[in-house]
Every structure is written in C-alpha cells, then in structure tokens.
C-alpha cells in the first residue's frame, strides 16, 4: 500500500514535472526565436534606411537634372524669340525698302 501510494505520488508529480520541463523548454525556444526575429528586423531596418538614403539621393539628382533641363529650355526659347524678333525687324526693313523703291518707280 505504501508502495502504490508512492507510485501514485511519483506518477502524479512526475507527469507535472515533465509538463513543467516541457513548458520551460517551450519558453526558452520562444525567447531564442524572438531574439533571432529581432536581429532579422534590425537588419531589415538598416536595409530600409540605406534604401531611403539612396532614393533621396536619386530624387535630388533627378530634380537637379530637371531644373537644369528647364533652364536650358528657357535659354533656348529666349534665343529663338530673339532670332524671330531680329527676322521680323529685317522683314520690316526690307518691306520699307521695297516700298521706297516701288514708290520711286511710279
């Protein structure tokens, strides 16, 4: 009877002990897994920060290029307008001279 009582107590506490040990092992594995995930997240954050920096640099370069392009377009537009103005002046002078020549012939 004492022996069966000892076996019953051992069986009950042994099962509880095994469950406790398994629970502790599960918690330890979760902690290790969480640590690995945190390391992965840190590396992802660093990669994102590098990508954001590169994107900012590329955006800055593109904006400068577009600004330069627009200034170049403005300069060429002014140049074309100056040429057209000069051509108009020459045409006006030519018309005046033609008018004077035609006026003398009559």
Q: pLDDT tens, 34-45?
A: 999 999 999 999
For 48-66, how does the pLDDT look when each residue is reduced to its tens digit (9 = 90+)?
999 999 999 999 999 999 9
Please determine, for residue 101, whether its predicted confidence score (pLDDT) is greater than 70.
Answer: yes
Q: Distance between CA 33 and CA 41 in Å, rounded?
A: 12
Distance, in Å, from the CA atom of 87 to the CA atom of 75, rounded to the nearest integer, reads 18
Cite the beta strand spans of the chain per DSSP E: none
Angstrom CA distances, 37 to 25, 48, 64, stand at: 18, 16, 40
Residue whose entry in the numeric block shows the structure tokens 């140049």: 79
Q: How far is CA 85 from CA 29, 73, 75, in A?
A: 83, 18, 15
């Amino acid at each position: 009877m004492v022996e069966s009582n000892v076996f019953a107590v051992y069986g009950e506490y042994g099962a509880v002990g095994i469950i406790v040990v398994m629970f502790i092992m599960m918690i330890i594995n979760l902690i290790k897994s969480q640590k690995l995930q945190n390391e992965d997240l840190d590396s992802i954050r660093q990669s994102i920060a590098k990508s954001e920096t590169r994107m900012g640099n590329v955006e800055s370069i593109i904006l400068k290029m577009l600004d330069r392009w627009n200034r170049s377009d403005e300069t060429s537009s002014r140049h074309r307008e100056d040429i057209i103005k000069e051509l108009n002046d020459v045409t006006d002078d030519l018309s005046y001279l033609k008018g004077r020549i035609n006026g003398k012939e009559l």
